[in-house]
Amino acid sequence: MEKIFIITAGAVKKGLSFGHFFRSIELNNYLKKKFQIFFLITHPNKKVANYLRDKKINFKFINKNSINKFLRNKNFKYLVVDLPNPNLKINHNKSKLIIFDEFLRFKGNCNYYLTTNIFKKLKKKYLNYHQNISFRFFKFLNKKIKKRAKIKKIKNILILTGGSDLMNINKTVTKKILKEKLLKYDFYFVVPFSKNNNNFSPQKNIKFINYNSAFNRINMFDLAITNGGNSMFEMIFLKIPCLCFSTNILERLNIDYFQKTKMVLKFKKNQSLESQINFFHL
């Protein structure tokens, strides 16, 4: 079985959650039957280590400066780099290099260049790099997904705030639910990866679930409150409308771009939560 090495970030730091890590996990889930996959994790994290062990995924915590030495004399077909800054000087031998890069920071050469950034023009070399491809994730959504009719009734609402809830949205939403006495909806909070699952529910219609439980029951949700990154793209693909908040400028642009489909509305802290939910009603 051919090998793939995936280099990704494994810990939260200022302004960075677990998006790179879980995107790499999804890649692993998709390819694990065809390839032997090994993770090289920068920024060590105990929760990440436990998660990878539970999933029986091969991994190693590694300093960026030690990657070349580790990869020397190893045979592998692909090297995937999904980091906040993907500009690593890596000798990937004869293997193909795949780069994930939302902010278009990569300056080198690669075989495949993947980005969700639809707002900046790619460098010409990525459009015509030998016989390789440049694929812009989700650009097709604007054409493929038709404007969805507003929902007759919203009952079950999923709150998905990423791996660490950088903007403390869970607390903001909970306060609004309690203040506005929103008892006619059921709110399902996905517990962030970096938090302990010991949440106390202040009322019966506020429930806490894990990521897997949420996606096993994804068809029950009428609306999602989420960020403007990977989670929003997943929800749009599943045709679940989103009340979205942004954690960076790119997410803000994503939200603004998809608002015209009526599938997305920018979350406003100074407006009532119910009025924003009602935007998606008939």
Q: Which of 39-43, 44-48, 87-91, 132-136 has the lowest mean pLDDT?
A: 132-136
Asked whether the beta carbons of 103 and 87 are under 8 A apart, the reply is no
What value does the mean pLDDT of the chain take? 81
**Rounded to 5 degrees, what are φ and ψ at 195?**
-105, 155
pLDDT at residue 148 is higher than 70: no
Alpha carbon 30 to its chain's center: 15
User: Whose CA is closest to 82, among 3, 9, 4, 163?
Assistant: 9
Asked whether the beta carbons of 160 and 214 are under 8 A apart, the reply is yes
User: Whose CA is closest to 95, among 113, 114, 74?
Assistant: 74
Looking at beta carbons, which pairs linking 236-240 to residues 24 or more positions away fall under 8 Å? 236/138, 236/141, 236/145, 236/261, 236/263, 236/264, 237/141, 237/145, 239/145, 239/148, 239/263, 240/158
Side-chain half-sphere of 84: how many Cα atoms within 13 Å? 14
Q: Which has more pLDDT, 198 or 137?
A: 198
* Amino acid at position 32, single letter: K
Q: Which of 119-128, 131-140, 145-154 has the lowest mean pLDDT?
A: 131-140
Cα separation of 189 and 185, whole Å? 13
Average pLDDT over residues 104-118: 79
pLDDT at residue 30 is higher than 50: yes
